[in-house]
Amino acid sequence: RAAARGLRLSAAARSAMPSWVIDRYGHNEVLRFTSGMALPAIRFPNEVVIRVHAASLNPIDLIMRNGYGATALNMKRDPLKLNSTDSEFPLTLGRDASGEVMECGLSVSYFKPGDKVWTAIPPWKQGTLSEFVVASGNEVSFKPKCLSHTEAASLPYVGLTAWSAINKVGGLNKENCAGKRVLIIGASGGVGTFAVQLVKAWGAHVTAVCSNDASPLVKKLGADDVIDYRSGNLEEQLRALPLFDFILDNVGGSTEKWALDLLKKWSGATYVTLVTPFLINMDRLGVADGMLRTGVTIGSKTVKHLCKGVHYRWAFFMPSGPYLDEIAELVESGKIHPVIDQVFSFSEVPEAFLKLEGGHARGKTVINVIDKK
């Protein structure tokens, strides 16, 4: 097996791999490089082992490093409390990967060793800042041939998050999106840059909110109108425009108090936010009370806004190989392009976290795990 994986042939190398892990929650000082992380093993017949060529960072990696969402994620990792230890450590962060299939479970027929693939790993699994990662076969898709591994690693997590919000929750697709007025708040980050391209590819009129220095990028991606949130009162600027059919909010906070008033009433118009209290409720209140509080919150807000003639929704990342297949088609046709802010080497993972933590990124922060493209 070691030889098939292309590893070095020493006894230590056959059982270990380089990885960036954390042993406790905290700030950047908790990141630790190790060359002795246990190789991931296939535990279920539908799993594949992927050699990671490139990975990327997302805001969820920052908040997971800090311990946000640990209660819910640990419950998902071990719902029946079968593990002999209660610790999730050492924990590997990173959700995106582009690489090569090295090994397949017995029920995997769609992929074979040597296939070039991309994937987004759910946050309750060990992440991609490692030489190898295990993924379920239904979370994996063939990498677009027109992209390098570095380019491909920038898209899966943000692409699936935007796809979940716009298509699965928001109900927009290539058949019904043409001519609709779409507002994207927070358009210059990873999810925002993907969302602009996706709804534009489906024929929508796109209004994007970002800072002035990001305006050229967002316009290049296809936005029809770009609003600088620093140039004046954002609410007043948006109220001066025609009403919208769909709003994607990547920012949250006070925006939610007035953004729904920008929607067309009684027309099926929908507001979708990616900023939800679900994980923090469970962290603060525990699993049962946290889920109850979350249910009451989303239920009351949904009913409140439905009575006003608009739909209010929450959206989350959804791992899905089939959705990545559809995204790959858009990439291959030239309708979706990767937007990369900066590329770091594998030895520079702490610097990459600091870059992401600084905010104001224009696209994605990518980690080149190995030198191959």
pLDDT digits (tens, 9 = 90+) for 294-343: 888 888 889 999 999 999 999 999 999 999 999 999 999 999 999 999 99
Residues ≥6 apart with Cβ < 8 Å to 302: 311, 312, 313
| The predicted structure's pLDDT at residue 119 | 98
| Average pLDDT rounded to a whole number, residues 209-235 | 96
Q: Report the C-alpha gap between 293 and 284 in whole angstroms.
A: 11
Better pLDDT: 278 or 147: 147
One DSSP character per residue, 317-372 reads ----HHHHHHHHHHHHTTS----EEEEEEGGGHHHHHHHHHT---SSEEEEE-SS-
Least confident of 33-37, 60-64, 300-304: 300-304
**Range scoring the smallest mean pLDDT among 20-29, 228-237, 281-290:** 281-290
pLDDT score for 228: 97
pLDDT of residue 84 exceeding 60:
no
The reported pLDDT for the residue numbered 103 is 97
Residue 12 is predicted with a pLDDT of 45
Mean pLDDT score of the chain, rounded to an integer?
92
For residue 75, the model assigns a pLDDT of 85
Give the pLDDT score at 13: 46
**Of 74-83, 204-213, 256-265, minimum mean pLDDT range:** 74-83
DSSP state of 165: I
pLDDT tops 70 at residue 128? yes
pLDDT in tens, 67-80: 988 988 988 887 76
The pTM assigned to this predicted structure is 0.92
Q: Report how far residue 345's alpha carbon sits from residue 106's, in angstroms, rounded to the nearest whole number.
A: 34
pLDDT value of position 137? 97
Which of 152-166, 294-308, 355-369 is predicted most confidently?
152-166
What is the reported pLDDT for 109? 95
- Structure confidence at residue 86 (pLDDT): 63
Query: What is the Cα–Cα distance from 316 to 163, expressed in whole angstroms?
Result: 10
| Residue percentage of the chain with pLDDT more than 70 | 94
Q: Does the domain at residues 170-314 carry the CATH identifier 3.40.50.720?
A: yes
- CATH H-level superfamily of 16-154+339-368: Medium-chain alcohol dehydrogenases, catalytic domain (3.90.180.10)
Phi and psi of 150, rounded to 5°?
-60, -45
Q: Where are the domains of the chain?
A: 16-154+339-368, 170-314
111 confidence band (pLDDT: 50, 70, 90)? very high
Task: Please report the pLDDT score of residue 8 as a whole number.
Answer: 41
**pLDDT on residue 81:** 67
- C-alpha dist (Å) from residue 342 to 39, 88, 128, 190, 224: 29, 30, 18, 12, 26
Q: Which stretches within the chain are classed as H helix?
A: 11-15, 59-65, 70-77, 149-152, 156-163, 190-201, 215-220, 234-239, 255-259, 278-285, 287-306, 321-332, 349-357
Question: Quick one: pLDDT at residue 50?
Answer: 98
Q: Could you tell me which of 326, 47, 357 has the C-alpha nearest to residue 174?
A: 326
Is residue 372 pLDDT above 50, yes or no? no
